[in-house]
Structures are given as structure tokens and as C-alpha cells.
């Protein structure tokens, strides 16, 4: 991944969470509850030593894929009622509240601990990211088998693939094959 494809701040956190799996070639970073714990602790979304169950892992992956769908909407993708329900449930379960800190700035913080709280922080990051002017530049790769999240740093917001070197060329090759078939 080139630097231009990687977002920073809350956008970067959202991008990193959704990209914990490479749908096309693997690996799945969140393959085990322990791996989920490690990821959440490393990104300061949860304190270490809290229990993480298989159900938590399933829930986290559902939240991740709902966020992928919401990012897909930036390029005309469909958001299904299940995606919306998953995100709303994660927000409710974490008991997100508006909190003002000492510097007078407000943010959303979960009252719940554990993975529920961590998912609340992820949803809060999506909430903040959507208010960021860079949100519309967060896109899914146009390759239907890839759907990797990339940050479109191009001047006219016209990038469609995560990296031209791989997915862009793959798409071109497919179109070429299809054209060749239709001519034959
Ligand atoms: Zn791609």
C-alpha cells in the first residue's frame, strides 16, 4: 500500500479496522478471539485483560462488514437494513454518550466496557469520520472480489481501485477477456 492510500486519524482507524481482512487473498487478522483482543488493545479501543468470546468476535466482524457497506455507499454501493441495524445495535449496546473533556471539546464515549465498549469506540470513530471532509474519499476498491478500503488522495477523487498495479490491471484483463469472448 502506498502512503497516498492510507488515511490518518479517525478515518485511518476506520480504514484499518475494515482492512483487518483481505477478502481476496487473505489473511483474516481477526481469526481468533485473542487476535481481536490484541487488535483492540493495540488501537487503544479496549483495556488489556478483558474477556473476549467467540460471540464477541462474530459481533466485531459483523460490525466491520457493516462499516464496509457504509463506506461502499461513498461510491454508490448499497447499504442493507441489516448493516444499519448492526451499527445501531453496536451503538446502543456500548451506551454511547456525548462527553465534554477538560479542553471543552465533545466526543462520543461508550459507558460499556469490554468488546461492547470497543465496538462503541469504533462506531464513534465512524461517526466522527463521517463529519470529516475526507470521508467521501474513503472508498472500496471497485473489484467485487477485493473491496479493500483505500483513501482516494487523487486530485479529482477519481480513483477506483485499491492499487492500479493489482486490482486495476486485473479488472482491465477481465474486460479484455470479455471483449475477446464477445468478438469470438
Ligand atoms: Zn482492490
Q: How far apart, in whole angstroms, are the C-alpha atoms of residue 10 and residue 13?
A: 5
Between the CA of 143 and the centroid of ligand 1 the distance, in Å, is 6
CA proximity to 45, closest of 55, 31, 30, 65: 30
Q: What is the pLDDT along the chain (184 residues), one digit of tens a residue?
A: 444 578 889 999 999 999 999 998 889 999 999 999 999 999 999 999 999 999 999 999 999 999 999 999 999 999 999 999 999 999 999 999 999 999 999 999 999 999 999 999 999 999 999 999 999 999 999 988 899 999 999 889 888 888 766 787 766 666 667 777 776 6
Q: Of 162, 115, 128, 90, nearest to 12 (Cα)?
A: 128
Contact criterion met (CB below 8 Å) for 161 and 142: yes
Q: Are 36 and 115 in contact, with CB atoms under 8 Å apart?
A: yes
Is CATH 1.10.3300.10 the classification given to domain 3-183?
yes
Three cell numbers, residue 6: 492510507
- Domains in the chain: boundaries: 3-183
Q: How far is the CA of 71 from the centre of ligand 1 (A)?
A: 14
Distance 13 CA to ligand 1 centre (A): 19
Question: The pTM is what?
Answer: 0.88
* Phi, psi angle pair for 138, to nearest 5°: -80, 120
Q: State in Å: Cα 136 to ligand 1 middle.
A: 18
Cell reading at 5: 492510500
What pLDDT score was predicted for residue 2? Answer: 42
- In angstroms, what is the span from residue 8 Cα to ligand 1's centroid? 20
Please tell me the distance between residue 104's alpha carbon and the centre of ligand 1 in angstroms. Answer: 41
Amino acid at each position: 500500500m502506498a502512503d497516498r492510500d492510507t488515511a490518518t486519524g479517525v478515518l485511518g482507524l476506520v480504514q484499518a479496522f475494515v482492512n483487518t481482512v483481505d477478502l481476496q487473498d487473505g489473511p483474516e487478522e481477526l481469526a481468533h478471539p485473542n487476535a481481536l483482543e490484541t487488535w483492540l488493545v493495540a488501537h487503544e479501543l479496549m483495556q488489556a485483560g478483558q474477556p473476549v468470546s467467540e460471540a464477541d468476535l462474530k459481533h466485531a466482524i459483523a460490525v466491520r462488514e457493516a462499516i464496509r457497506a457504509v463506506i461502499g455507499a461513498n461510491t454508490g454501493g448499497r447499504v442493507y437494513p441489516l448493516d444499519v441495524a448492526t451499527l445501531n445495535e453496536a451503538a446502543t449496546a456500548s451506551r454511547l454518550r456525548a462527553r465534554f473533556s477538560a479542553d471543552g471539546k465533545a466526543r462520543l464515549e461508550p459507558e460499556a466496557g469490554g468488546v461492547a465498549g470497543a465496538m462503541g469506540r469504533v462506531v464513534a470513530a465512524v461517526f466522527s469520520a463521517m463529519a470529516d471532509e475526507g470521508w467521501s474519499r474513503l472508498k472500496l476498491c471497485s473489484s467485487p472480489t477485493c473491496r479493500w478500503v483505500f483513501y482516494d488522495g487523487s486530485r479529482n477523487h477519481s480513483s477506483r481501485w485499491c492499487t492500479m498495479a493489482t486490482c486495476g490491471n486485473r479488472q482491465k484483463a477481465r474486460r479484455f477477456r470479455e471483449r475477446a469472448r464477445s468478438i469470438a
